[in-house]
Amino acid sequence: MDAQTIIARRVAQELRPGNLVNLGIGIPTLVANFVPAGLNVFFQSENGLIGSGPIPEQGMRHPFLTDAGGRPISALPGAATFDSAMSFGLIRGGHVDITVLGGLQVDTAGHLANWMIPGKMVPGMGGAMDLVSGAKRVIIAMQHAAKGKSKIVVSCNLPLTSTRPVDLVVTDLAVIAFPGGKATLQETAPGISVAEVMAVTEAELAIPDKVPEMKF
């Protein structure tokens, strides 16, 4: 299993029947591919849709039915459309059960930086700040390290997305939660030891007595 598949499959296990879920771009988008049939989760696309479905086949696409990146999507039975004020009312108002977002850095306290690298990458925050401020549960799906540098850091030096800590981080090596505001190793990826995770993690992780492997 490649790194992205490990992350997406593990995140998919967090979804519960009836959840309203918002997936960010990148690895989070892949989560939809691993949702068990019949789980009945609703995916929100923040450009104004609940019930977004897979990319339709050629000839069945509609220019007015797209995801937040402008790519064609489909709408599942029971889908609903609405304007952007409503869409962000759903997000900010705590109606979205889970948001899955990419990350640049997450620190020991669970603070997330994921929207800019000063002087380098200035795309704008889009919906990320509202999602982290307002969703009931925030899950970060990202590689554990980028270019050999740990993305789980002592303290974020990139601009924060929100002061609200995230709930769970799923990487290709580990699952990390933040009970009592302290980064704590919950699981390791198949074949990865606790020592291996610690060796590539800048932040100090609390290590419980038993750390199970992810189960697929």
Partner 1 sequence: MKSVSVEEAVALIPNGASIMVGGFMGVGTPERLLDELVRQRKSGLSLISNDAAVPAKGVGKLFDAAQVSRMIGTHIGLNPKAQQQMLSMQTDIDLIPQGTFAERIRAGGCGLGGVLTPTGVGTTVEEGKQRIDVNGKSYLLETALRADFALIHAFLADYLGNLAYALTARNFNPVMAMAADTVIVTADNIVPVGVIAPDHVVTPGPLVDYLVANG
Q: Which residues bind partner 1 (CB under 8 A)?
A: 45-49, 62-66, 68-70, 75, 81-85, 87-88, 91-92, 122-130, 133-134, 159-163
Q: Is 46 a catalytic residue?
A: yes
**Cα separation values, 187 from 143, 184, 190, Å:** 15, 9, 9
Least distance to partner 1, CB of residue 130, Å: 4
Q: d(Cα 32, Cα 40) in Å, to the nearest integer?
A: 12
Least distance to partner 1, CB of residue 68, Å: 7
DSSP 63-131: TT-B-TTS-B-EEEEEEEE--HHHHHHHHHTT--SEEEE--SEEETT--EE-S-BTTTB----TTHHHH
Closest CB to partner 1 among 108 and 201? 108
173-176 long-range contacts, CB within 8 A, separation 24+: 173/144, 173/197, 173/200, 174/144, 174/201, 175/10, 175/214, 176/106, 176/152, 176/205
Furthest C-alpha separation in the chain: 55
- The residue annotated as part of the active site, out of 46, 57, 196, 202, is 46
Closest CB to partner 1 among 161 and 188? 161
Closest CB to partner 1 among 21 and 134? 134
Tokens of 3: 């790194």
Least distance to partner 1, CB of residue 67, Å: 8
Closest CB to partner 1 among 49 and 214? 49
Least distance to partner 1, CB of residue 78, Å: 15
Active site residues: 46
